[in-house]
Amino acid sequence: MADLIIPHLSPGDKVLDVGCGDLRIGEILSKNNINWVGVDTLNYNRSNLEFHTFDGVKLPFNALEFNVVLVAFVFHHCDDCKPLLSECVRVSSRRVILFEDVLNGSSFNRFITNFHDQLVNWIIDKRIYCPCTFKTQDEWFEAFRAHGFNSTFTQHLKTHSLAMVDQQLLVFDR
């Protein structure tokens, strides 16, 4: 994942990793003159990077404090992602990088995506809340456009040849 993120960062960037988990990605990328800060609802941090816990809605940071906000496979853990999305764009001065499981509109795709995520989260930690509120690519575009951010990059991530879940990297700029 770090290889997919680095082209969208500049040396000296201050990055907020929302839903950062153990901060392994931050440790890798902070070696590239990137100031990395993590925030999550549960503390899995195994790094020496700056870390904060939060309530899953209100980010404990000032407006425009970060150049870039990374949100990797987080929004579908919210009953309603609008408040957290608003917070992410509030603290970002330039860019939001989003990794997310994206729906293609079919009922079978929704079923597989939900099943996959429930299983993965159950394996990782049974405390992880997951209402599976996935969106289509167009719904993501519209959600960010409503906050003055435009899509500048999209990439479908094929984790293996039999992957049935459409994971995407979406980059949005002010």
Q: For residue range 57-108, what is the model confidence (pLDDT) as tens digits?
A: 999 999 999 999 999 999 988 899 999 999 999 999 999 999 998 888 777 7
For residue 161 the two structure tokens come to 């040849």
Question: How far is the C-alpha of 51 from the C-alpha of 60, rounded, in Å?
Answer: 11
In order along its 174 residues, the chain shows pLDDT tens digits of 999 999 999 999 999 999 999 999 999 999 999 999 999 999 999 999 999 999 999 999 999 999 999 999 999 888 999 999 999 999 999 999 999 988 887 777 777 777 877 787 678 777 777 777 889 999 999 999 999 999 999 999 876 555 577 889 999 999
Domains and CATH numbers, the chain: 2-173 (3.40.50.150)
**Helix/strand/coil percentages in the chain, nearest 5:** 30, 30, 40
Tell me the pTM.
0.89
Q: Taking CA 101 as the corner, what is the angle to CA 34 and CA 79, rounded to the nearest 5 degrees?
A: 95
